[in-house]
């Protein structure tokens, strides 16, 4: 049975650009899928197709059991979306914005009011609740937009780069809100450029680049693909490198492991299995052979390593301050023009 979010062969072109080039997704109910990819990878396009905002050229999408192309209105009633401040009305206060969403979804005005208060409190907007949204900073708008998406707690949620532009404290707070949501049964598709975020929140990760899913799996599976853990040793003396190499080759993965040596920095690296116990063994053995060491450590691959090995370039998270600046700039420009 397909999951709460399902897509098959999604293609979307804009002129010459294949923003989506055959994307398949399957997100089991109650889990979080992290769509991870650099700028221009096709993340927003995928979210827009799945949330009925954009027609694909071809492919199939089913959300909450409903065909997205055949029954977009029904899909809209079952999902929540937070994106680029789409839901926020600048000329309403934070509180009014949230109440309005509740009323759009036919909540009673009492329920909408209570829900607004609860969310304002939770997103640290209570003090600014009665100011118009146009006076909000970029980070505050983002929080208001997320709160708006959560007014009705829909069964399936989409969040397009939810924490871009948030400071670390607000990011942490949002992460715990997301974890609570998911614990309550919500299915979530989240796009992000932050590897750490996908690592922290997502059950499964799809790495996208140029409109294609280039890898998928859990964070651990993706990390294991890049070669697993390794021991790095810096020996004190140049003339002990060969001895150290022999020790590491024997103790490394498979017993005849390939040791990488940087003569200049006297650093040796070898893939291993066995973690800390193996590390202790390496230290003992080097000591027995009289090899002095300056530094030694066990290094596990991070999602950054995965990303680099898959895409050939480091993830460039959109600069948080930059996007916040952009929001400020847009606001100032508007005001200057009045």
Ligand X SMILES: Nc1ncnc2c1ncn2[C@@H]1O[C@H](COP(=O)(O)OP(=O)(O)O)[C@@H](O)[C@H]1O
Which part of the chain contacts Mg ion (CB under 5 A), choosing from 35-43, 65-73, 112-120, 257-265? 35-43
Q: In terms of Cα–Cα distance, which of 241, 286, 276, 275 is closest to 260? A: 241
Least distance to ligand X, CB of residue 287, Å: 50
Closest to Mg ion by CB, 44 vs 82, is 44
Q: What stretch of H or E contains 20? A: strand 17-27
Residues 6+ apart with CB under 8 A from 260: 268, 269, 270
Least distance to ligand X, CB of residue 202, Å: 16
Least distance to Mg ion, CB of residue 4, Å: 22
Q: What are 126's two structure tokens?
A: 């209570």
Q: Total residues contacting Mg ion (rule CB under 5 A)?
A: 2
Closest to Mg ion by CB, 43 vs 266, is 43
Give the nearest residue (CB) to Mg ion: 44
Closest to Mg ion by CB, 44 vs 93, is 44
How many other CB atoms are there within 10 angstroms of residue 78's CB atom?
Answer: 14
The reply to whether 258 sits near ligand X by the rule CB under 6 A is no
Residue of the chain from 1, 14, 73, 239 that contacts ligand X (CB under 6 A)? 14
- Among residue numbers 38 through 57, which ones bind Mg ion (CB under 5 A)? 43-44
Coil vs helix vs strand at 160: strand
Residue of the chain from 2, 9, 17, 237 that contacts ligand X (CB under 6 A)? 17
Closest to ligand X by CB, 102 vs 138, is 138
State the residue for tokens 């990303």.
307
Rounded to whole angstroms, how far apart are CA atoms 141 and 166?
A: 10
Rounded to whole angstroms, how far apart are CA atoms 24 and 59?
A: 9
Distances (CA, A) of 81 to 141, 185, 189, 203, 295: 15, 16, 10, 19, 48
- Among residue numbers 24 through 83, which ones bind ligand X (CB under 6 A)? 37, 39-45
Q: Which residues bind Mg ion (CB under 5 A)?
A: 43-44
Q: Which residues bind ligand X (CB under 6 A)?
A: 14, 17, 19, 37, 39-45
């Amino acid at each position: 049975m397909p999951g709460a979010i399902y897509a098959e062969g999604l293609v979307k072109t804009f002129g010459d650009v294949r923003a989506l080039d055959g994307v398949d997704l399957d997100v089991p109910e109650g889990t979080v899928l992290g769509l991870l990819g650099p700028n221009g990878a096709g993340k927003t396009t995928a979210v827009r197709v799945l949330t009925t905002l954009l027609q694909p050229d071809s492919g199939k999408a089913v959300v909450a059991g409903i065909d997205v192309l055949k029954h977009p209105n029904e899909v809209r009633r079952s999902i929540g979306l937070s994106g680029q401040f789409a839901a926020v009305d600048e000329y309403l206060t934070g509180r009014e914005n949230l109440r309005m969403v509740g009323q759009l979804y036919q909540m009673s005005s009492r329920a909408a009011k209570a829900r607004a208060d609860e969310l304002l409190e939770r997103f640290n907007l209570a003090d600014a609740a009665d100011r118009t949204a146009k006076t909000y900073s970029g980070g505050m708008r983002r929080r208001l937009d997320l709160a708006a998406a959560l007014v009705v707690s829909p069964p399936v949620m989409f969040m397009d780069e939810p924490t871009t532009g948030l400071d670390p404290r607000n990011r942490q707070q949002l992460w715990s809100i997301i974890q609570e949501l998911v614990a309550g049964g919500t299915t979530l598709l989240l796009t992000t450029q932050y590897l750490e975020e996908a690592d922290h929140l997502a059950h499964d990760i799809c790495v996208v680049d140029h409109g294609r899913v280039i890898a998928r799996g859990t964070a651990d599976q993706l990390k294991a693909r890049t070669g697993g853990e390794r021991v790095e040793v810096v020996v004190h003396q140049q003339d002990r490198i060969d001895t150290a190499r022999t020790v590491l080759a024997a103790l490394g993965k498979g017993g005849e492991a390939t040791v990488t040596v940087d003569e200049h920095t006297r650093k040796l690296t070898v893939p291993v299995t066995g973690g800390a116990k193996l590390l202790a063994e390496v230290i003992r053995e080097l000591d027995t052979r009289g090899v002095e060491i300056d530094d030694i450590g066990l290094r596990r691959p991070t999602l950054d390593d995965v990303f680099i090995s898959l895409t050939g370039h480091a993830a460039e998270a959109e600069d948080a301050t930059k996007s916040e600046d952009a929001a400020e700039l847009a606001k100032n420009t508007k005001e200057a023009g009045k």
